[in-house]
Structure 1
């Protein structure tokens, strides 16, 4: 049987019929927007338990996103457009509320629920001949909205990451400048800082190219040895603020490997946030003076650089030598300061020191051990003997301590 070819009039009639069916579907979609929105909100309440647990404001914001999605679908069905248009129409005013209220996974569940509601209403909205095309349009639109949602969350994450980086830099700078205010503490809390003691600061040279990946790796490595960590980069200096340091020696050694070549200095442990400023200042002073000790370990404690810091004009190091070494030696009596001075001046010779002081060599040995017990520095080790000798020099030049007078039970 021969097929009768279709005439242009037949094509015209078919196109007209299709256009009429699409126009009718579009008209019914517009007429049912309110019903679809109501059905969607009811379905969200019944199908998504986490949606019911949200606050009224959060449910309102997400409900607005769902209604925007339905309204935007009607416009999109009439004139399909780019994903950027979908992004602005559906999520234009909601990214902050959306990303704060729910995760991306839940956002996709919300989109799936909206799509399911619209798809279930297809038989009642579209003529039978148009139902297949409408279902296909719903699926295509849901794909565009899903990609748009992912874009919203990606942008929010980038913005949050940039803000956290700026906030972290402000916090590090505030610690270096000695701030200890409620504002600083709230900023640290916003960054997730929880430690209240055992603060310390490490400083060194930063790599020539510090990418976001490097900072993340450094922060991740620091989290293995400390409860909290902040990273700051100021020019060619890399600053690492640690809180709740557990194994100090291992932490400093492993973290020091992540700095660029050159000296790495860590300040003394601080008991409070305010004292962390002193730790930072000591670390920076040590970094400036570290080149005067070519054989310094890496990393090196700022306190181990007291002599070099004193020579470079660091007043804090001078006070530390007087307080921690010179005055304890004088207070211990038993000739410890005199014995140490003679031992250092006579080329570290026990016999020569014994002859100088008219005592037995074993007495000299005993007194030197007492020096180590009192100060924590061993005069038999050349480097530590240099620290002790510097303490004697600055101690002799220091003004005498102000006497403490008690008046009516109050020390003044």
Structure 2
């Protein structure tokens, strides 16, 4: 037996031989205090990182060595001694293992709580930034480097124990291994924090999340440096998700870098409201209201101002589409086919989606 094994035996087997001796002498069962002592020893072993398998073997070795009457057995032992001792061994080892597992469960809960607290502080920008950077190292992030955040939203809310979360996390780890990636959940959404230059990781996350969430949408924030950079990238991804919903975009993956114009347009709400009402307000006079003609403009612009393609997407004849465009021209005074008018109309259409007009009064 090595010195380490000897030390383990002295530390975690204290009182074990005495239990067996007491059971052999009287045939009694181990007392509650004795079993609780075994549990406490198991907890201590788990907290010090010892192997449960090794410690169970040490218990069995100690059982053989401390067997009442010697290792060769007893010829004059009272009836039932062997059964009593074996039952005591089972109870003592079971209590030890129970304590070991209890300590492990507690350690896991504490780790999960620390991880959740760190994520909350990281994504909300709370806590001292220097301390936050130190804690980040524990979870595989180096906040002095740039990071980008992707957020996936599905039809239901997800948490860290959800199968969807596990599927996406397993796929990323299998593909990229330990590349300073953090997968978590926040407010029912999947969140991936990756190095700012690792666009392949974020693209793969988006692909896996889209599949796992049964067609959800993923938004990717721009890379930012520092602990505050993670917050900004996360908030940018959230804003991009919201914009994509309001604009009713079909794309499953949207990037903040590709949508910078929209926050600019929405920044001055009053100016945008004035533009929408002055340019598109007259469409409310059309039969059926403004929405059909507004949809026509949106599809026409999305089709590259190609009448045949727009008509196909709207399930209209080209003639019917042309009639609608002419009607828009009559009502608004702006010709969708004219390059100068087109920019004003298209900006107003974008503004109407951002403001949810005409469903909402502005």
Question: Is TM more than 0.5 here?
Answer: yes
Q: Distance in 2 between matches of 1:291 and 1:68?
A: 66
**1:292 touches 1:308 (CA, 8 Å); kept in 2?**
no
The residue aligned with 1:219 is 169
* Match status 1:166 vs 2:118: no
Taking the aligned partners of 1:257 and 1:275, their CA distance within structure 2 comes to 28
Instruction: Indicate yes or no: 2:229 matched with 1:275.
Output: yes
8 Å CA contact 1:266, 1:283 repeated in 2 = yes
Cα distance in 2 for residues equivalent to 1:193 and 1:122: 59
Looking at structure 2, the residues matched to 168 and 290 of structure 1 have their Cα atoms a distance apart, in angstroms, of 30
Q: Is the 8 A contact 1:123 1:131 kept in 2?
A: no
**Do 2:218 and 2:241's aligned partners in 1 also have CA atoms closer than 8 Å?**
yes
Q: Is the CA contact (8 Å cut-off) linking 2:42 and 2:100 kept in structure 1? A: no
Segment of structure 1 superposing worse, 266-275 or 192-201: 192-201
> So what's the TM-score if we normalise by structure 2?
0.60
Q: 2:192 aligns with which of 240, 255, 258?
A: 240
Aligned equivalents of 1:173, 1:240: Cα separation in 2: 14
Partner in structure 2 of residue 190 of structure 1: 138
CA distance in 2, matches of 1:283, 1:104: 45
Matching residue of 1:290: 244
Q: Does 1:309 align with 2:263?
A: yes
Q: Secondary structure at the match of 2:14?
A: helix
C-alpha distance in structure 2 between counterparts of 1:314 and 1:221, whole Å? 42
SS in 1 for 2:76: helix
Does structure 1 residue 299 correspond to structure 2 residue 220?
no
Distance 1:124 1:298, change over 3 A: closer
Change (3 A) 1:96 1:211: same
Shift of 1:312: 4.3
* Matching residue within 4, 24, 29 for 1:80: 29
* CA shift for structure 1 position 66: 0.6
Q: Distance in 1 between matches of 2:235 and 2:161?
A: 26
User: Which residue of 2 is the match for residue 228 of structure 1?
Assistant: 180
Give the drift of 1:283: 0.8
Aligned CA distance change for structure 1 residues 160 and 196 (closer, same or farther; 3 Å): farther
Q: Distance in 2 between matches of 1:246 and 1:310?
A: 25
Relative to structure 1, the CA distance from residue 257 to residue 311 in structure 2 (aligned partners, 3 Å threshold; closer, same or farther) is: farther
CA contact (8 A) 1:233 1:239 kept: yes
Q: Based on CA coordinates, which of the two structures has the bigger radius of gyration?
A: 1
Structure 1 residue 265, shift from structure 2 partner:
0.9
The alignment's C-alpha RMSD in Å is: 4.0
Give the conservation status (yes or no) of the 8 Å contact 1:202–1:239.
yes
- Provide closer, same or farther for how the CA distance between residues 211 and 278 of structure 1 changes in structure 2, counting only shifts above 3 A: closer
What secondary structure sits across from 2:13 in the alignment?
helix
TM-score normalised over the length of structure 1:
0.53
Which residue number corresponds to residue 142 of structure 1? Answer: 89
1:203–1:266 Cα contact (<8 Å) kept: yes
CA distance 1:233–1:113, change in 2 (3 Å):
same
Deviation at 1:113, TM superposition (A): 2.5
Q: Are residues 238 and 211 of structure 1, via their aligned partners in 2, closer, same or farther at CA, if it must alter by over 3 Å? A: closer
**With CA pairs under 8 Å and 6+ residues apart, which has the higher RCO, 1 or 2?**
2
Q: CA deviation at 1:243?
A: 4.3
Aligned to 1:89: 37
> Is 2:49 the counterpart of 1:105?
no
Deviation of residue 261 (structure 1)?
Answer: 5.1
Query: Map of 1:361-376 to 2, 5 A cutoff?
Result: none
Q: Which runs of 5+ in 2 are unaligned?
A: 270-300, 307-341, 348-362
**SS at structure 1 position matched to 2:181:** strand
